[in-house]
Amino acid sequence: MKVNFIGVDYDYFDYQGKNYIKIIGRTDSGKRICLIDDCDIYFWAILKENISEKKIEKLINKINKIKLDIKGRKTKVEKVELKTKNFLGKKVQALKIYATNYKDLHDIASRIDMDEIEKRRGYDLGYVTHYILEKKVNPLAWYEVEGELLNNSLKFGGIDSALDVDICIKTKSIKEIKEKQFLPNVLAYDIETEEFEIGKGEILMVSLVGKNFKKIISCKKASKKHDYVEYVKDEAELLEKFVEYIRKISPDFLVGYFSDGFDLPYLRARAQKNNVKLSLGLDESPPRFFRGAVPTGKISGIVHIDLLKFIQTAYSQYMQSETLSLNEVAKEFLGDTKKPFEFKPSSKIKEEEWETFFEYNLHDSVLTYQLFEKFWQDIQEFTKIMKEPVFDVTRNGMSHNVEDYIIHNLEKFDEIPEKRPTYDEISLRKKQPAYEGAFVFEPIPGLYENVVFFDFTSSYGSVIVTYNLSKSTYLEKPEKNSNSIEALGKKVYFSKKTGFFPEMLKEIIEKRKKYKTELKQKPDVVKKARSNAYKLLANASYGYQGFFGARYYCREAAAATAAFARQSIQTAIENIEKENYPVIYSDTDSIAFLREKNSKVQIEKFLTKLNSKLPGIMELELEGFFKRGIWVTKRAGKIGAKKKYALLGEDGKIKIRGFETVRRDWCQLARKVQNQVITLILNDGNEKKAMDHIKMIIKKLKNREYEKKDIMIKTQLKKPISEYRAISPHVIAAKKMHEQNIPIEMGSLIEYYIAETMEKKKLVRDKVKLPGEKGEYNIEYYLEKQILPAVENIFQVFNINLKEVIEGKKQTTLGDF
DNA sequence: ATATACACGGATCCCCTATTTCC
DNA sequence: GGAAATAGGGGATCCGTGTA
């Protein structure tokens, strides 16, 4: 039988002691298909140098005889081949050791500790990755498959009858074909529960939203019934109905928001309690959970996606939202929000309120569904580039993605994969002191006109490529013709023979450039997603080499990258100053300077000239021209504050970096006022209007004209309450919330305000009150600790001591405020 | 558990010294 | 008068959140 196929969910199983891959996907006619396949199983034993042929032959014979009987499984070395390969860029002789079962590779490897063997590698990739590498059946790519149709067959223990698919094939041959359209069947879901703690209270309702499908299952009755609501008699029936609908719809993707951490584990817990089998898998298996910071929930044959995780790694750094709550994320990407609903115990919800609750619940799934549509393109590109299944790609962090990319591109270099670091190695790496990072220029506080920003494109990435910095190119001993620099308190050397990591990164950067240009010429969603994926990959590569968990960890390379980057930026600054452009500021890879009377064309010419002198793929680009920019002093002292500035663009847009305005742990009022002051000053070029404005604000503050929402302070709880050594205001607020049974956990955003107190209290934390608590805001605190600190150093730029002005005025015209 | 360092600034912690309180 | 308690100053540290 021949069929066109795309792979979506990857899993494997053992049959008669051997491993088989089970890929669930679709045919081009939309049929659900299961593909069964296998591949050679092997790992590598890298030999020491200069081992005689005779010795090798003896060694092979010895290894060939290895047989194991462990974990109730008989396994053996099937064959051994001698190959010439590369390991960390060096030519090596290695034995390719084939075995029966992937899971036994580790045990076999530990038996092979002969003297002639230097290293053992390639047994820790996981069967799915190993299979994808071996057979090149990449997720979300199209293939023409030829094989034996299993129909009520006894093969593999009757797998085809046990699986809820249209076609089940044992693969004979497989060949890549041109990309076809794939419109996945997607179902979003969301549950509402009595309690927040997993499994503690009953599930009140479940909503399911697909392409042309809307459903609420609930045992609570509303006064008016929408046709999408389906009543059930109790929780057990609700769970059964939920399973029934999912089985009927059989989606490729079941999508939730924070569903790894809440919805799916909650459903599982309640199913256990009600003795209902949560047989969501195509083989009717219940979800399996894997340990982690947040456990991940896997459903056999259906890809369970927790969108929150993907957004976290792929998008959060470019987002405006202050939290990654469904509400804020939907607001930012869809321009839509959650429906309003005030939570209370279900016994207190009136009949007419249930209707609103249903609408609320349904809309959460609608938002989740729409967000999936929004990110589907990105998920596809990530999957295709990393060549790992959607389930993993949507959950992995960026370092993991970088590593997957490397592993799936090693073949071109004939490289044997490096192993994952052991626990001991990781602890050792973690103990290493931090190495010197980026250079930041200390600005001279002031208001400047005609500011230009130059940026190094993919700065760290370009440095790694240009100076060939990686684990495989690092030279333990100095060599003459090499790249070298001071780092980690010594001189470090890197070979000039291009390593595979810099080479891969070069390709990533080139691709990113290519798609970015194409995108500019003719925008489309695929190019946008692709360009973005390569951009993220390029940006994460530097961090990867310095990350303690990386297979290709190289502290010297990471430190050298930072060192070469410092050198590059400092040279660029010198060259800009040499042309008599005053440099105002610089941080890591960007430089701000004044163009004074020079035209934009002159600046662009100057940029070309600068670029002609840069080594390798180092390149400066024009980030932008700005009408004005302001840099301020630090709170204490007179020196210029780094990482804090504001710009007025040519288009009139204001760009604010680092100021309290952009920090969520300052109250709205202080942030808004600071923003207004900055805007007024940048637009007018002086502080006059800003001064009037701030006086008015202070007056209103003292008259208590502001609402609670303006003065709420939000701070995230980063660890369990008990672990805090310093008891700061937000910890006190969290404690209060805990006492009032308001659900909080690590990661919760704690909201509180500072209130007036009867007695004089010294510590701020003694004045903390929760939003619900009665009290009046503490005028002195908000003036002295929020409003004034936010704007004081901005006025300092004009040599105005705001405090003196305010207090001075107070003396002359008492009662003015 | 799962990219890096640099930086700001609030608040508390903690040590020291001076002053007050207690006996 | 001397020891213990308290207040306050100031640097160190913790903590959260930014920039790149």
Report H helices in A221-350. 235-249, 263-274, 307-314, 326-334
CA atoms of A328 and A367, how far apart (whole Å): 11
Q: Which residues 244 to 273 of A reach strand B, CB within 7 A?
A: none
8 Å CB contact between A687 and A798: yes
Q: What is the pLDDT of residues A666-681, one digit of tens each?
A: 999 999 999 999 999 9
- Residue A659: which nucleotide is closest by CA–C1'? C18
Chain A window 537-596: residues with CB closer than 7 Å to nucleic chain B are 539-540, 542-544, 546-549, 558, 562
**pLDDT recorded at residue A222:** 85
Between strands A32-37 and A167-176, the pairing is parallel
Average pLDDT over residues A158-177: 93
**pLDDT at A784 (0 to 100):** 86
- pLDDT of A815 reads 39
Give the pLDDT confidence of A316-333 residue by residue, as tens digits.
Answer: 878 888 889 999 999 999
Each residue of A587-602: pLDDT tens digit? Answer: 999 999 999 999 999 9
User: Nearest 5°: CA angle at A198, between A194 and A199?
Assistant: 65
Q: How far apart are CA A634 and CA A640, in angstroms?
A: 6
A792 has pLDDT over 80? yes
Is residue A816 pLDDT above 60, yes or no?
Answer: no
pLDDT band at residue A809, thresholds of 50, 70 and 90?
A: low
pLDDT exceeding 90 applies to what percent of chain A? 73
Residue A717 confidence class, pLDDT cut points 50, 70, 90: confident
Report the distance from CA of residue A671 to the C1' of nucleotide B17 in Å, as an integer.
40
Query: What is the percent of chain A where pLDDT is above 70?
Result: 99
- The stretch A785-808 carries a mean pLDDT of 85
| A420, A430, A476, A497, A548 from A425: Cα distances, Å | 9, 9, 19, 28, 8
pLDDT for A435-453, tens place per residue? 988 999 999 999 999 999 9
Question: What value does the mean pLDDT take over residues A567-585?
Answer: 95
Neighbours of A599 (CB within 10 A): 9
Query: Does A726 contact strand C, using a CB cutoff of 7 Å?
Result: yes
Contact A588, A459 (CB under 8 A): yes
Predicted confidence (pLDDT) per residue in A226-277, tens digit: 899 999 999 999 999 999 999 999 999 999 999 999 999 999 999 999 999 9
CA atom of A450 to C1′ atom of B20, Å: 61
Residues 6 or more apart whose CB falls under 8 angstroms from that of A288 comprise A297, A298, A300
Give how far Cα A813 sits from Cα of A671, A802, A810, A816, Å.
28, 16, 5, 6
pTM listed for this prediction: 0.94
Q: What is the C-alpha separation between A473 and A415, in angstroms, rounded?
A: 14
Reported confidence tier of residue A808, pLDDT bands at 50, 70, 90: low
Residue A812 has pLDDT above 60, yes or no: no
| CA A758 to C1' C6, whole Å | 22
Tell me the pLDDT band of A294, cut-offs 50, 70 and 90. confident
Tens-place pLDDT, residues A631-652: 998 887 778 889 999 999 999 9
Helix, strand, coil % over all residues of chain A, rounded to 5:
40, 25, 35
pLDDT band at A814 (very low <50, low <70, confident <90, very high): very low
Averaged pLDDT, A565-577? 95
Structural contact between residues A706 and A672, judged by C-beta atoms closer than 8 angstroms: no
Phi-psi region of A145 (alpha: psi -120 to 50; beta: other; left: phi over 0): beta
The answer to whether residue A292 scores a pLDDT higher than 80 is: no
Q: Which amino acid residue lies closest to nucleotide C13, measuring CA to C1'?
A: A726
Q: Is the CB of A624 under 7 A from strand C?
A: no
Q: For chain B, which bases have at least one atom within 7 A of a protein Cβ?
A: 1-14
Q: Is pLDDT at A817 greater than 70 in this prediction?
A: no
pLDDT at A33 over 70: yes
Summarize the confidence of residues A167-192 as an average pLDDT: 95
Judge whether residue A758 has pLDDT over 90. Answer: no
Average of pLDDT values for A283-290?
94
Does strand C come within 7 Å of the CB of A761? Answer: no
Residues 713-772 of A with CB under 7 A from strand B: 725-729, 763-766
Compute the mean pLDDT over every residue in chain A, rounded to the nearest whole number. 92
CA atoms of A507 and A383, how far apart (whole Å): 18
Per-residue pLDDT of A111-153, as tens digits, reads 898 999 999 999 999 999 999 999 999 999 999 999 999 988 8
